[in-house]
Structure formats: structure tokens, C-alpha cells
Amino acid sequence: MQVVRFDAAGEVLARETAPDGSVRAVATVARCGITTYTNRDGTKRRELSLPEHLFDAESLATLGGVAVTMTPPVGHPPVMLNPGNAAKYAVGHVHETIDAVPAPTEKDFGYVRVRLTGRTDAAVRMLSGDKPLFVSPGYLCPKYDATSGVHPVWGAYDAIQGPRVYNHLAVNDLPGTARGGDGMVVHMDADADFAIQDDPGIARNQETTMIQFRLDATQREISIDPLVAEVLKQEFARRDADEAAAEASATSALAKYEALKAELEGLKKQIDEAMAGMERMKGEKAAVEASVTDAKTRADAAEKRLSDPAELRKILAPRVALETTAREVLPKDQHERIDAMSDDEVKASTVAVLLPSLKLEGAKGERLDGMYQTAVATRQGRTDARPPTRDPNAKDPQASGGRTSAELHQARTDAEYVPPKRAGVK
């Protein structure tokens, strides 16, 4: 697919009058990126110019030598130029030297620059005037691709132009016609080989001027012609602005770095605190697990003891003895509540009955145990007052006649015996 395009590409920056009266100029004629066109129905179409297409060597070769046109109002002739109509519309030509300037940054644009010469009276008058001038290339797109997409830097587009075949370069004085806006202002280089080359057989303008410029932090003076001086002046102004912007960007980047560094330190502190908390939780978890293990061990031991009848009786013996004594001492109307009473309550109730003179208020623990043991001891006979145990057949030294205790006991029994009365016997 092939389409025809007329672009408003850039501003004419430097101008110079040659010895033969013609006027030479330097301008930007094309850029990379997306250009917006208006369709016949008023809708917009965005076309992408890729660096590999705009800077294609064969494409740039078609730009060198094309005719310069100035047909009012936009500078383009009504038809594409050919040998039959070139004399009618051509007012000058583009020089063969073409500069392709890559983008200085990822989001910037690359540019195509040319030198041009206006030779007719109308061209000389326009190029010699004070009004800003703009250039617009007319070209064909033989490999036009109408597939839409999104470029990672420049955004959405509706088609890709592909390499161009240039036909002419129009010059006009209509402001605001550049499709690229501020991005289409000419960007010049300060290289020595950027000076406009004279046509063969035409002597150079010998007028020169002395200027100072900074190159690698060194102040130097050189003699150059006024046109190159103007280009260099504007180029160095742009470079100084770029350096100032770069310095401001570096300062901003440093501030962002310091802010991110502080944020990182804060995050590291939070991570350290979280790790310390995790270590504490591990210690607490180990302590809880140990406590659970110990409780389980004791529970297993208790369960084992309770499952052994002998152990169970041993465990319950103190309580059984306590309740037995309480039932012997307390009134019968209190027996029903003994089972629900604690050991201390049973002991206190027993002491209150056996030793009512004792004050039980506040008594507990060892003191209550002592009081209980004293009270229970009052119910038992004295073991130290019992007579010594003797052989029942041994002689009683106090008995008369030398009889034994058994004999004396039998004698008392016989003496006290009263036979039962029989029926009918008085």
C-alpha cells in the first residue's frame, strides 16, 4: 500500500545570503514518533515513524537534491513534482548532505536535518525576511502498514508509515503548522562539519566573526562565518539548558534516592523487630509445649494411680477416716452435708463439737490440723494407764490361797450365778 504525505515538520533556523544572491538555510524536516493527520471526514489518524524507517539510508538518499517549493499558502504544489512540472514549482533545492540525529534520550525523538538554497526572487525574499519560516516535506510511503498498535514509548497509533520516498520540500511562513508542536523546533549540532557547504564554483562569503564557546570545560576562540555562529549560539544555549535540566534531574534523583534509602532502613528495622518477635514467640511456644507435656505426664500418672484399687484406697483413706470421725462426733442431722464439705470444714465442725471453748476464727492449715488432732485425742483412752498383760494361768500374788487370776475369776462367776427359775417351782 502506498500513500502520499505532506508534513509540517519544523522551523527554518539559520539563514545566509550567498555571494550570488541566493539564500541558504538549515532546517529540520522530519522526526521519529507519532504524527496526527486529519481524514476527509474530520476524524484523526495517528501514524508512527520508526527510527529504522526514518533513518533508512535509501530513504534519506531520496531527500538529497529534491526541489524546494513555495506555492501559497502552505508551500506545497497541487501535485507531486515530476520532470514535466518541476520548472513551474521549484524555487530552489535541498543539498545532498543529510544529517540523521538520533534521540538523546529514550523518550525524546530523532531528527532529519537538511541544508537548502532558495534561488528565485520569491524564494530569496521569503528566506531573507524576518518572519519565522517552516518546512514541510512531500513524500510517498510505498510500504504503508495500516495495522494499529501501541508503541512502548510514544503510545497508541493507527498505522506505520514505513520508509519514505521524498518528492519535494515546501517552505511557508504560516505559524502553528508543525504537526509535532514544540518537539519539531530545530535541534542543531555544533560540529565543525555542520557548516553549510558551498555549491561548486561559488566563492564563500569571507565575512567572519569571533565567538567564544565552551568545549569540554575549556574556553576557546574560533573564527567562523555568521551562519554557523548563529547555529552554534542556539545550539550551545540548548545544550546549557539541557545540562541545567540534567543537573536538576540529578538533584531530584538524589533526593528520591535518599528518601528510598530512609524508607529501606525503616523497613529493615521493622523486619528486625518482626524477627525478634518471632524468636520470642518460638520461646513462648517451647515453654507452653513443655508445660503441656509435663501436665500430660502428671495426668497419665494420676490416671494410672486411680486405676489401681490399692492406690485408690490409699488416696481416699485420709478422707474416709475424716468423714468416719465426723459422723461419730457430729449430730445426725449434719451427716448428710458431710460429703459436700471440704476437709477444713469437716475438721472445724469436729473441733467445734469436741472442744467448744477453742476459737476457730481464722484457723486454717497447720494450726487447724493441730487443733483437730488435739480434739480427736480427747475421745481416746489413755494407753499408758492400762495394766500390764499377764499370763492368765500365772499366780496372782494378791489373791488368797495362791489361786491364779483365772481361778479367782471363775470363783466370782460361780458366786454371782443365779440359776433361772423353772415353771411351777417357787
Asked if residue 240 is part of any domain, the answer here is no
Give the end of a domain, one of 203, 234, 257. 203
Q: Which residue has the higher pLDDT, 167 or 399?
A: 167
Asked if residue 16 is part of any domain, the answer here is yes
Q: Is the model's pTM score more than 0.75?
A: no
Q: Which structural domain range is residue 350 located in?
A: 317-377
Asked if residue 41 is part of any domain, the answer here is yes
Same structural domain for residues 193 and 327? no
Q: Which residue has the higher pLDDT, 341 or 221?
A: 341
Asked if residue 130 is part of any domain, the answer here is yes
SS3 101: strand
Same structural domain for residues 329 and 183? no
Confidence (pLDDT) at 52: 92
Same structural domain for residues 188 and 331? no
Per-residue pLDDT tens over the stretch 185-210: 322 222 323 333 333 333 333 344 44
Residues with Cβ < 8 Å from 369, sequence gap 6 or more?
Answer: 347
- The three-state DSSP-derived secondary structure of 361-386 is CCCCHHHHHHHHHHHHHCCCCCHHHC
Confidence (pLDDT) at 111: 84
Residues with Cβ < 8 Å from 166, sequence gap 6 or more?
Answer: 59, 62, 63, 66, 137, 138, 139
- H/E element holding 24? strand 23-31
Query: Which residue in 203, 194, 170, 226 sits closest to 98, CA to CA?
Result: 194
Per-residue pLDDT tens over the stretch 277-297: 999 998 899 999 999 999 988
Asked if residue 343 is part of any domain, the answer here is yes
Strands in 119-238 per DSSP E: 133-141, 149-151, 155-157, 159-160, 165-172, 209-215, 218-224
Tell me the C-alpha to C-alpha distance, in Å, between residue 127 and each of 81, 132, 424.
Answer: 22, 9, 183
The identity of residue 3, as a single letter, is V
Per-residue pLDDT tens over the stretch 74-111: 889 989 999 999 999 999 999 998 988 877 665 567 88
Helix axes 226-306, 309-329, angle to 10 degrees: 70
Q: Considering its fold, how many domains does the chain have in total?
A: 2
Asked if residue 255 is part of any domain, the answer here is no
Average pLDDT, the chain: 77
Give the end of a domain, one of 203, 232, 253. 203
Asked if residue 53 is part of any domain, the answer here is yes
Asked if residue 103 is part of any domain, the answer here is yes
Confidence (pLDDT) at 212: 46
Query: Which residue in 8, 7, 9, 17 sits closest to 129, CA to CA?
Result: 17
